[in-house]
Amino acid sequence: MTSGFEHFSQVSLRDKDCPPSRQFVKDATAVANTQVDWLETADAHIFKADLPGLTRQDVKVIIEDGQTLEISGERKKEETSKNDTWHRVERSRGAFLRKFRLPENIYIDSVKAQVENGVLTITLPKILAPRPEVRTIEVL
């Protein structure tokens, strides 16, 4: 399976004789328009992604090898009649994919994800460091 991103590795964007393909532009726009915030609190890492119009069935969240958070999905094209005319198309559509390298202190088994009002929230609890145990040592 290929996407327009292979084209990027072979062609300079400044090359006027060979501009980027439409598929590349579409793919790059979909990725660029998937805005994600990453907040670290004392207890967790929290990711929030704006995904207007998408439901939980449209979004996939994966943690690869316990190290990489992957958020993917697809904004589908609206069906229209052949007689309809678009005057402006500004909203991105198509597949999107974002990846983030995770710190080592994530408790993978307790990760939660939900979509509400077009916002995907992923909560990755931290493995809390054990508190140092205080021991009294008998002096001989």
- Domain holding 20, by residue range, is 1-32
For 111, counting Cβ atoms within 10 Å of its Cβ (0-12 exposed, 13-18 middle, 19+ buried), the class is middle
Does 6 share its domain with 66?
Answer: no
Does 9 share its domain with 59?
Answer: no
Does 48 share its domain with 104?
Answer: yes
Query: Which DSSP helix (H) or strand (E) runs through 68?
Result: strand 68-75
Instruction: Let me know if residue 107 belongs to a domain.
Output: yes
Instruction: Let me know if residue 82 belongs to a domain.
Output: no
Query: Which DSSP helix (H) or strand (E) runs through 29?
Result: helix 22-32
CB 71 within 8 A of CB 59: yes
Q: From CA 67, how far away is CA 72, in angstroms rounded?
A: 16
Does 66 share its domain with 99?
Answer: yes
Q: What is the mean pLDDT of residues 32-58?
A: 91
Does 53 share its domain with 40?
Answer: yes
Does 25 share its domain with 57?
Answer: no
- The per-residue pLDDT for range 71-129, each reduced to its tens digit, is 999 988 777 788 888 788 777 778 999 999 999 999 999 999 999 999 999 999 999 87
The pTM (predicted TM-score) of the whole model is 0.67
Instruction: Let me know if residue 85 belongs to a domain.
Output: no
Q: What is the mean pLDDT of residues 10-14?
A: 45
Instruction: Let me know if residue 136 belongs to a domain.
Output: no
For 43, counting Cβ atoms within 10 Å of its Cβ (0-12 exposed, 13-18 middle, 19+ buried), the class is exposed
**pLDDT score of 9 more than 80:** no
Q: What is the pLDDT of residue 77?
A: 78
Instruction: Let me know if residue 69 belongs to a domain.
Output: yes
Does 121 share its domain with 68?
Answer: yes
